[in-house]
């Protein structure tokens, strides 16, 4: 397995998480959900001599896309998002789409529920979950485009099918730690306790 160069950035407002993934210093890279102080992200890009090919969008809510335009203008990167994303994009993704970042394979997983256009990105054994899955929590479904039944399918029928050692990198730092694993979340995340789809829909409707 190719080793992944990874940097995580936490924004001061909203605890949003942004990420750089690359095959190594001096190589091609992708940025996931650029937000917050972009100078921190561009500083690493410049210091490591990275060539940003893609800006990967987990969903089109503004707190995850606020830096897309500026970063694209500065780096020439193409903005990629699910076809249902209501935002400017250069590359339209469907479930299962694969993008190459040098030796890295980035697999797009459509995981609706928090939003219709929700995407997770799997790079080797590293999963970038946006607002689908947090450490100890999951995304809300009471916003426009939210769907608790779809989120159940995304969590239980997609993400929990991944190996336990898969590392989880969420879209917000809402939990006791900034990263986790599928195995740890399976054991400790109360949202992922065994429930039927109907029970989960009722659970998500609770205040």
Each residue of 94-129: pLDDT tens digit? 999 999 999 999 999 999 999 999 999 999 999 999
DSSP-assigned letter for residue 172: B
Residue 1 has pLDDT above 70, yes or no: no
Residue 205 has pLDDT above 80, yes or no: yes
Residue 199 has pLDDT above 80, yes or no: yes
d(CA 84, CA 100): 22
Using an 8 Å Cβ cutoff, are 164 and 186 in contact? yes
Using an 8 Å Cβ cutoff, are 151 and 28 in contact? no
The mean pLDDT value for 164-189 works out to 97
d(CA 63, CA 36): 9
Predicted pLDDT of residue 192:
98
Residue 66 has pLDDT above 70, yes or no: yes
Cα–chain center distance at 43: 21
Residue 177 has pLDDT above 90, yes or no: yes
Predicted pLDDT of residue 174:
94
The mean pLDDT value for 6-29 works out to 94
Tokens linked to 146: 């939210």
Integer Rg of the chain from CA = 16
List the CATH code of the domain at 5-205: 3.60.15.10
Q: What pTM, to 2 d.p., does this model score? A: 0.96
Predicted pLDDT of residue 12:
86
Predicted pLDDT of residue 52:
98
The mean pLDDT value for 31-40 works out to 94
Predicted pLDDT of residue 97:
98
Residue 160 has pLDDT above 80, yes or no: yes
Using an 8 Å Cβ cutoff, are 167 and 126 in contact? yes
Residue 2 has pLDDT above 80, yes or no: no
The mean pLDDT value for 149-170 works out to 98
């Amino acid at each position: 397995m190719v080793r992944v160069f990874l940097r995580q950035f936490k924004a001061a407002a909203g605890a949003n998480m942004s990420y750089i993934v690359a095959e190594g210093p001096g190589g091609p890279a992708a940025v996931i959900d650029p937000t917050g102080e972009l100078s921190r992200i561009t500083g690493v890009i410049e210091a490591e001599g990275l060539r940003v090919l893609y800006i990967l969008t987990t969903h089109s809510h503004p707190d995850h896309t606020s830096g897309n335009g500026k970063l694209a203008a500065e780096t020439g990167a193409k903005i990629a998002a699910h076809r249902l994303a209501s935002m400017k994009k250069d590359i339209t993704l469907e479930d299962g789409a694969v993008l190459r970042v040098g030796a890295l394979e980035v697999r797009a997983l459509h995981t609706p529920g928090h939003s219709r256009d929700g995407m997770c990105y799997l790079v080797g054994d590293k999963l970038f979950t946006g607002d689908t899955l947090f450490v100890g929590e999951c995304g809300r479904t009471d916003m426009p485009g939210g769907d608790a039944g779809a989120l159940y399918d995304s969590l239980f029928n997609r993400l929990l099918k991944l190996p336990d050692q898969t590392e989880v990198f969420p879209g917000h730092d809402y939990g006791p730690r900034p990263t986790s694993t599928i195995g740890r979340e399976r054991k400790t995340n109360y949202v992922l306790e065994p429930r039927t789809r109907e029970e989960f829909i009722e659970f998500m409707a609770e205040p």
